[in-house]
Amino acid sequence: MLPGTLTERQTRCGHANCRCHGDPPQLHGPYHQWTRKVEAKTVTRIFSDEQIADFGAWFHDERLLRTLVGELEALSLSIVEADPRWRR
């Protein structure tokens, strides 16, 4: 599992006469950008196509686990709240 966000981006470079500044612009990329927090700082890495093939599903797995944990927490809370031993 990999925490963070995986996005696909296209960018412009700093060269004024590059195709990315044309009309219409032909942007560079796509680049696979992984962004996450490490010790309260944003860290960004660029994945290659090969890395996406190897690790891309790990982002889906992390989202799925968070969803399942949220559902489990909600179920647990509803069971505890429904316990007749609470003083009301």
Q: Let me know if residue 49 belongs to a domain.
A: yes
> Tens of pLDDT along 5-48?
999 999 999 999 999 999 999 999 999 999 999 999 999 999 99
Enclosing domain of residue 49: 5-81
pTM: 0.69
The tally of domains found in the chain comes to: 1
> Tens of pLDDT along 44-87?
999 999 999 999 999 999 999 999 999 999 999 999 999 999 88
User: What would the DSSP string read from start to end of 13-63?
Assistant: -S-TTSGGGSSS---EEEEEEEEEEETTEEEEEEE-HHHHHHHHHHHHHHH
Q: Let me know if residue 87 belongs to a domain.
A: no
Q: Let me know if residue 88 belongs to a domain.
A: no
pLDDT of residue 50: 94
